[in-house]
Amino acid sequence: MAKIKNIELGEFPLLLAPMEDVSDPPFRKLCKEFGADVVYTEFISSEGLIRNAQKSAKKLDIYESERPVGIQIFGHNLESMLQTIEIVEASKPDFIDINFGCPVKKVVHKGAGAALLKDIPKMVRMAEAMVKRANIPVTVKTRLGWDANSIVIVEVAERLQDVGIAALAIHGRTRAQLYKGDADWKPIAAVKNNPRMHIPIFGNGDINTPERAKLMRDEYGLDGAMIGRSSIGNPWFFREVKHFLQTGEHLSKPTITERVAVAKRHLEMATEWNGDVVGLLETRRHYSSYFKGTPDFKPFRMKMVTAPTKEEVFSIFEQVIQTYK
């Protein structure tokens, strides 16, 4: 049984990764319904929260149906990170997650995210101070190291655990890799198999089939799988993984009617949460994945991503059902 402090997550939980412009409340709700055990918000800038920037504050929206849910924050300034804790706790998440792994240039150049992998003492100081200030568990998401010559994750994990971090999610790439090449899970397993470690260790990176999730559980011995890009436009992936872990069999893929129903519901929830204009824009990135593998679908997808109103998108959805049923 994996636990973050006293939060029970079940046997080998599946976690929805924090993804910028993806892991918003509508998408998290869908993933939860299809089997995600834990969800994370998009990563939120500590500086943006302190300034009460509208986009950052909006990301704090969480709902009872999502629990357990973690709010993920990032930043380079310790005092700013500490100031955000009270703001974040007011939204009543189950835990706070610190992003020490984002490889994106605009984040790293500010000394945040994966940049902390070049300054482990600062990373540890920040984690320790946040654990002491927070009234709820604090977790961390990070990477193996800065580059292939600095795979420091075993040491980093020990030091973060020593200062009170309650769980660790590790992406199996270095910062230098960005999202290229293959994720290497062996260093993550080395963290889990370190006899000093007792907190949950979740693996992330390239969990793109149910078989890969089973491999992470059975051969690498990790406590759970954090799923990111494979879930975009594919909230069914959590259900498929769970079914395979329990039975060893593959679920049949959703029908075109099911795909349309979920895509439509996603758009409805997105516009209700974020308004017609932003909600419409935010869901466009999901359409190619919702209908992946549908033959000759490109003309429909182009219509979907250029339609100016949700009513027109709904009309296109109906055309899709009539064409492919």
Q: Known catalytic residues?
A: 102
Number of helices followed by number of strands (H, E) in the chain: 15, 11
Single-letter residue type at 169: A
Single-letter residue type at 88: V
Q: Is 10 in a helix, a strand, or coil?
A: strand
Closest CA to 41 of 58, 54, 119: 58
Write the Ramachandran bin of 309: left for phi over 0, alpha for psi from -120 to 50, otherwise beta: beta
CA distance 41 to 273: 14
Single-letter residue type at 150: S
Closest CA to 41 of 26, 80, 52: 26
CA distance 169 to 153: 11
Enclosing H/E stretch for 152: none
Tokens 């943006």 correspond to 48
Tokens 């500490």 correspond to 82
Q: Hey, which residues does 44 pair with through a beta bridge? A: 73
